[in-house]
Amino acid sequence: MCEHNQCCGIHSSKWIFYLVAITLGVIGGLSEIGIVEQIGKSCSEIFIRIFKCISMPIISLSVIVALTGSGSDKTMNRLWRKALKYTLTTTVVAATVSAILYLIISPSNVGMNFDTPENSIVNTDYTKYLLEIIPDNIIGAFSEHKVLSILLISVIFGISIRSIEDTKAKEVLKSFFDGLHSIFFTITKFIVKILPLGLFGFVLVSVKELRDGMDLNGMGKYFLVIILANILQGLVVLPAVLAVKKINPLRNFKAMMPVLSVAFFTKSSSGTLPLTIEAAEQRLGVKQEVSRFVLPLCTTINMNGCAAFIFTTVVYIMQNYGIEISGLTILTWILISTLAAVGNAGVPMGCFFLSASLLSSMDVPMPLLGMILPIYSVIDMLETSLNVWSDSCVASIVNKESENYLV
């Protein structure tokens, strides 16, 4: 009880800091004081740089740690295949739902004038872009923020380490990557603690743009697409999948409600993982062999909410940049957002990091990300709850399908 009250107090103080940062950002943006505007702009630029710097290592290490954490025996391989099957299926559906909603709602552009560079993404060959997923330089993939190349490298590393026959060498490598993952997770938590500074900068820049005549008519529909995509995935798609597998979705939802509440406020599926495992085992009856393998894996690669956010955000910003959103573009980004979401870290703002990296890798300007950030905290809460709910659904399905070979 004390720990719960302490957590509530911590989250309350965070909201106070966020509110203060937003208020100061609004005041600064309206002040027309040069030095204040410069400080705000510097803060926003610094945090964009931080996001770009830390996102790639987190993505890579999360995938490697998830893959190396699994066993290599037949039972674990079966669990791995089933978890991967349902993870990819639900994530593709989440991206597809957001694409359909995007086409129906059709968000309009904001009133910003972008300068199109000579080598604009308008002329980008998506086939070539997909072929470039295969890197010719491992270090270059990280320095150039090639998200999908990094995912490929990380999957190869993870599977290779998992397949090493030398037990001692395998344990050394696993410990090494676990340690690195913990370091970057700690760094991320520190960044979240100082996030009000970045929030101040982003709000100030956004208010200044509004003051200069920016039109935000399309932003409301953009947010509506993301929110509806998360709600439909969580309350319609996933329950339907459970029902098809003859699992009571209402019972599962009630059992996971306390954990989903924690996920909502912490905005971290990784941080909620111990509670998720406990609820799955004690409330849903998921076997330990399943819960303690599938759930940590899903925490890293099962990101339904992230897929919806990445698709909607990247396509919307590309649209604002003057790029034609064709049917091929939609299909391509359903695929890319699915693959990118699989590599998302289960930490606060993981989807935001990924979207920034994808846009950066294509040289697409990112000022709109600064305008999204003030409300992203709420979106992140909803996405995290959806991700944890999806994790529990996958665990329940794998558990049911594994009854024949798990005692």
Residue 174: C-alpha distances to residues 115, 164, 345 (Å): 46, 11, 18
Residue 66 lies in a domain: no
Amino acid at 274: P
Would the pLDDT of 123 be above 50?
A: no
Classify the phi-psi angles of 267: left when phi > 0, otherwise alpha if psi is within -120 to 50, otherwise beta.
left
pLDDT digits (tens, 9 = 90+) for 20-55: 888 888 888 888 788 888 888 888 778 767 766 776
Question: Which of 99-103, 104-108, 340-344 bottoms out in mean pLDDT, i.e. has the lowest?
Answer: 340-344
Residue 33 lies in a domain: no
What was the pLDDT predicted at 257? 87
Its domain, for residue 96, covers 73-166+216-401
- Is the pTM higher than 0.75? The answer reads no
* Range with top average pLDDT, 254-258, 289-293, 321-325: 254-258
pLDDT digits (tens, 9 = 90+) for 238-280: 999 999 999 999 999 998 988 887 777 667 776 677 778 888 8
What was the pLDDT predicted at 407? 52
Average pLDDT value for residue range 190-194 = 75
Higher pLDDT, 221 or 237: 237
CB 314 within 8 A of CB 332: no
Question: Which of 132-141, 163-172, 211-220, 333-342 bottoms out in mean pLDDT, i.e. has the lowest?
Answer: 211-220
Nearest alpha-carbon partner for 312 in 404, 232, 193: 232
pLDDT band (50, 70, 90) for residue 231: very high
Distance from chain centroid for Cα 298:
12
Higher pLDDT, 121 or 353: 353
Question: For the chain, what is the domain count?
Answer: 1
Residue 162 lies in a domain: yes
Average pLDDT value for residue range 338-367 = 69
pLDDT digits (tens, 9 = 90+) for 173-182: 989 988 987 8
Q: Report the C-alpha gap between 279 and 306 in whole angstroms.
A: 23
Residue 256 lies in a domain: yes
- The CATH number covering residue 259 comes to 1.10.3860.10
Residue 85 lies in a domain: yes
Residue 59 lies in a domain: no
Residue 184 lies in a domain: no
